[in-house]
Structure 1
Amino acid sequence: MTTLRCLLLLVGLALPLVASGSGFTELKGLLERGFQVGAEARLLGDGARPGEVLGAIEPHRQLSPASVTKAYLAAAALGRWGPQHRFTTRLVSDAELDEHGVLQGDLVLDGGGDPALASEDLWRLVQRLHQRGVREVAGRVVVSQWRFGPVACITTDRCQAQSRASNSYSALLSSAGVNHGNWCVNVAPGAANGQPARITSCDSQALIVDVDNRIETRAAGSGTEFSAERITRDETDTLLLRGHMALDAVPRDVHRASGDPARQTAHTLTALLRQAGIAVREGYVTTVAEPPTVSRSLAKVEGKPLQELLLRTMNYSNNFMADVLALGLVDTPRANLLQAGEAIQHYVAGLPDHGPLVMLSGSGLTTENRTSAHGANVLLESMFHRPALFPSFVASFQAPANGVSRFIRRGSSLFQHHVMLKTGTLNQPFAVRAASGYFRTRSGRWGVFTVLVNGTANTPWLNWTQVLDPLARDLERMVEAH
């Protein structure tokens, strides 16, 4: 072999594998079927030198990441607040409490932007208020969403949810939202065949939301099928329930996005106050005004640590939680989703070699978000090299062997136990299947991978089997070989 040929061979061995389909021998079949694909897998470097690229398909191509966006949100949130940060929700008032336990004015809930605020937290606030001796509110219950809310919708589902919703994931956004912006009722069969189903509140002794119940109880063993839709008219939410339920059916909870999360919080808080024996004379309102500066704190509740919030946000791909967290990254009041996206972009701008990034939300609900497989891997590697943050970050990714999402439980035992990933799914206006995360090789080395698959007008149908099965086989070979 000549000296020149030896030099060329050595140079070739030093170059990363970036040819189309290199290392992804199974996944590249999607390219041949007309899908847009960006993929990269590489071992992590030691800080002084980059890791080896194990496979790549157009790694710098800008594509929609869908809910892989949430990994960006998680990194930015941890970088901003740290794993133990808690959001605080308060009941405040500038009114005096008289000797008879009457608060002589308004009671204000100061929404702190807690994305996991639940009716249980509101009940704790109410109990603490009762412990302070409050027995009546002479004014109104005021829910203040001055930090952000109502937030203008930028996706079809959320815009439609202003008037009606037949799902739970399209909830509108507010810094004072409760229960992920969802109403919840429990549906159980009636006492006898032919009677209407029994509808109760998940959150209080009495129903909080209006219900139009047309679910009929039928004979045992006859099956259960019903629909639930929330409609809003004249600022009043009503759950429309239609169908039938077998006499021996197990009761089930039904969640539907509310028409206005701040109004939902006001309605729920008022109901819980009355349940605790605290009367409210003048009803409730919502506002975008900050509570008066002279207000005193009457009760407060701290939410769960950020690391727990991210576990829920990522594992369940909760769009409400992701976008509320992203809105909290904006420093100025009255934040919108575009500003939230800019806050994430600002964080990523500090990561060398990431490349272009477009973020219009923290949830990834819109296909207009754009990143590359290489860029996503840069983000993952940057978190790996932050020892104080990495444990909380990687814990929010799912292992296929025991993740909450059953559709990822596929591939060999090697894939299921050596990979941690976040997935992203969209179907409109085009199909998106994305996966990003970490893997451990047989020798114990860490690696990162990202696969972004976008459909086109000519490739409208795409399911997870088409993406995860070949990805699993490709990653298995990489894990086994190293």
Structure 2
Amino acid sequence: MDPVAMMTRTAARFRCLLLVGASLMPLLVSAAGFTELEKMTERGFQVSAEARLLGDGDRPGEVVGAIEPQRQLSPASVSKAYLAAAALDRWGPQHRFTTRLVSSGELDADGVLRGDLIFEGGGDPALVTEDLWRLAQRLYQAGVREIEGGLVVSQWRFGPVECITTDRCDARSRAANSYSALLSSAGVNYGNWCVNVAPGAAVGEPARVTSCDSQALILGIDNQVETRATGTATEFSAERVTREEGDVMLLRGHIALNAASRDVYRASGDPARQTARTLAAVLDQAGIGIGDGYATSVEPPPASARTLAEVEGESLQELLLHVMNYSNNFMADVLALNLVDAPRATLLQAGEAIQDYVAGLPDHGPVIMLSGSGLTTENRTSASGANALLESMFHRASLFPGFVASFQSPSNGVSRFIRRGSPLVQERIMLKTGTLNQPYAVRAASGYFRARSGRWGVFTALVNGTASTPWLNWAQVLDPLTQDLERMIEAH
């Protein structure tokens, strides 16, 4: 279906759900339990919040705090909790994605492969250069010393994936960040180029720029970073642009002679082509020559192709640690695209796959997912819906350990900004956060808590700004939220 038509259909369905939901919910739900967080509404912010104790033996579940819990708001990266649940439901925690090198060509006695070598992207969201080295080594072990044809990177499962957000659409031509990486089932290194910038040998010389992933540079470099005297400040910018000859890293500024080298990551303009260039360099260093260059394709390998080398990625439960802890948008959306059964998947189809999973959850209510990453404010859910998801996973004994382990504990999580509240609350909650700043501010948090009695509870707080509300930072949300949660934990 045409992507515009799909989006129109999804939006229409959402409007209908909102009308039904609006007719059922009361105009105002008591803020009991969220006395501090409720003050956000007085400043013009839209809030949907709910905390509930889960059923325990003979004791039923119990709502202990709520602010318009059925209100539909943007969850930002809390969307990734939905993706994690849907992925675990589909594949289980030990699932691994496989990447293969295949060919229809014959391998002669001299180790010459008489045909093309095809890299078949398996949709592994955490494929990195080290995996390409393993593939090259296994290809060498299979006896291949030269490829008479070319290297073809096949992204037939999905890619290039049509962008639906401004950052990703802009990244097709230029990118000054790493989070807007474009998507492909044959992507590597999270869709990012990496270069290392170090001071030159003497003051006045250009900085020394090398590739993080190969001995030879595998993308163009426009280096205007000057080496300055020891002790001076180091300030430089990096932007990837796409020119006729391919991707180029523009480097501007200066670096001190005694400064440590720095790795710089920027989204590539074509992740499948990035994989082709990286793998070609790896094969060259492994002593395997390519006669006919490299290319990308959206066609699957021919039926006659046989596997020459393959590598399995990390287990799904390991992938989810990266997706959730570091809120990796590339990994999240690649995982979501894998949920689509048909080839040439789109982000809208991936979102619908998550919605189809949510449709089977008891008492969830309306949800809209246009991406698994939550990178768009058009995603919609409610606090009561997010809690229904958390409660559903809590009762799935085989999946819950892998699911809850992907949430962060404030006391020892990787994100420092969540280390707020008393030691009691920091040690008794696990959460996923979501942040967006454009076109309006979103701060969202969802996860589990343990009451003093030992009972498990779930909580979700979605705070959305508007065009007229002031700037929103995490302290403004987490400070009152943790105060409210501490009282709930103490009271039960």
* 1-structure distance, mates of 2:212, 2:419: 31
Q: Report the equivalent of 1:369.
A: 379
Change beyond 3 A, Cα 1:109–1:345: same
One-letter identity of the residue aligned with 2:114: Q
* Mapped contact 1:96–1:105 kept (Cα < 8 A): yes
Q: Does 1:204 align with 2:214?
A: yes
What is the distance in 2 between the residues matched to 1:371 and 1:72? 10
Distance 2:245 2:340 in 1: 29
Aligned partners of 2:56 and 2:455 also within 8 Å: no
Task: Give the equivalent residue in structure 1 for 2:155.
Answer: 145
> Is it true that 1:316 corresponds to 2:308 in the alignment?
no
Please name the residue that 2:443 is paired with: 433
Cα shift readout 1:165-205 (whole Å, capped 9, x = no counterpart)? 00000000000000000000111111111111111111111
374 and 244 in structure 1: CA distance in 2 versus 1, 3 angstrom threshold? same
Unaligned runs of 5+ in 1: 1-15
In the TM superposition, residue 291 of structure 1 has moved relative to its aligned partner by 0.3
- 8 Å Cα contact 1:442-1:480 kept in structure 2: yes
Please give the secondary structure, in 2, of the residue aligned with 1:312.
helix
Give the 3-state SS of the residue equivalent to 1:185 in structure 2. strand
Q: Do structure 1's residue 246 and structure 2's residue 256 form an aligned pair?
A: yes
2:442 is equivalent to residue 462 of structure 1: no
1:107 to 117, 127, 130: 117
Output aligned runs, 1:120-159, within 5 Å.
Answer: 120-159=130-169
CA contact (8 A) 2:29 2:69 kept: no
In structure 1, distance between residues paired with 2:210 and 2:243: 22
Q: 2:380 aligned with 1:385, yes or no?
A: no
Secondary structure at 2:335's aligned position in 1? helix
Cα shift at 1:131: 1.1
Q: Distance in 2 between matches of 1:367 and 1:420?
A: 24
3-state SS of paired residue (1:289): coil
1:292 aligns with 2:285: no
SS in 2 for 1:125: helix
Cα distance 1:333–1:49, how it changes in 2: closer, same or farther (>3 A)? farther
Corresponding residue for residue 200 of structure 2: 190
Out of 265, 270, 284, the residue aligned to residue 274 of structure 1 is 284
Measured in 2, the distance between the counterparts of 1:444 and 1:215 equals 57
- Displacement over 4 Å in runs of 4+: 47-50
TM superposition score normalised by structure 2: 0.93
- Is the Cα contact below 8 Å between 1:37 and 1:454 reproduced in 2? yes
Inter-partner Cα distance in structure 2 for 1:249 and 1:326 = 41
| CA–CA separation in structure 2 for the residues paired with 1:20 and 1:30 | 14
Moved more, 22-31 or 454-463: 454-463
The corresponding residue for 1:5 is none
SS of the residue 1:285 aligns to: strand
In the alignment, what sits opposite 1:356? 366
User: SS of 2:106's equivalent?
Assistant: coil
1:221 aligns with 2:254: no
The equivalent position to 1:472 in structure 2, one of 448, 459, 482, is 482
The question of 1:413 aligning with 2:423 is answered yes
- Once residues 223 and 239 of structure 2 are traced to their aligned partners in structure 1, the CA distance between those partners, rounded to angstroms, is 11
CA drift of 1:101 comes to 1.0
Give the conservation status (yes or no) of the 8 Å contact 1:430–1:460: no
Quick one: distance in 1 between partners of 2:422 and 2:102?
Answer: 55
Which digits, 9 at most, give the CA deviation of each residue in 1:198-238, with x for residues without a partner? 11111111111111111111111101110000000126000
Q: Residue 410 of structure 2 aligns to a residue in which SS? A: coil
CA distance in 1 between partners of 2:83 and 2:332 (Å):
7
2:64 maps to 1:66: no
Q: Verify: 1:98 aligned to 2:81, yes or no.
A: no
Residue 19 of structure 1, CA deviation: 3.3
- For residues 433-454 of structure 1, give each alpha carbon's deviation from its aligned partner in whole angstroms, at most 9, with x where no partner exists: 0000000111111000000000
The CA deviation at 1:267 is: 0.6
CA distance in 2, matches of 1:88, 1:130: 19
In 2, are the aligned partners of 1:326 and 1:362 still within 8 Å (CA)?
A: yes
Name the CA distance, whole Å, in 2 between partners of 1:210 and 1:97. Answer: 34
Task: Return the match for 1:178 from 173, 185, 188.
Answer: 188
Cα offset for 1:46?
3.5
Partner of 2:269: 259
Seen in structure 2, the aligned counterparts of structure 1 residues 382 and 49 have a Cα distance that, compared at 3 Å, is farther
Residues 1:206 and 1:47: Cα distance change in structure 2 (over 3 Å): farther
Identity of matched residues, % = 78
Structure 1 CA distance, aligned partners of 2:157 and 2:463? 36
Distance in 2 (CA, whole Å) between partners of 1:147 and 1:67 is 25
Q: 1:334 to 1:50 in 2, by over 3 A?
A: farther
How far did 1:460 drift? Answer: 4.4
Change over 3 Å in CA distance of 1:326–1:50 after alignment to 2: farther
Q: Which runs of 5+ in 2 are unaligned?
A: 1-25
- What amino acid does structure 2 have at the position aligned with 1:24? F
Partners of 1:259 and 1:91 in 2: CA distance? 23
Cα deviation for residue 118 of structure 1 reads: 0.3
Distance 1:465 1:243 in 2: 34
- The SS at the match of 2:71 is coil
Give aligned pairs, total. Answer: 466
Tell me the distance in 2 between the aligned counterparts of 1:135 and 1:210: 28
Alignment-mate amino acid for residue 57 of structure 1: I
Write the letter of the residue equivalent to 1:430.
Y
> 1: CA distance between counterparts of 2:381 and 2:59?
24
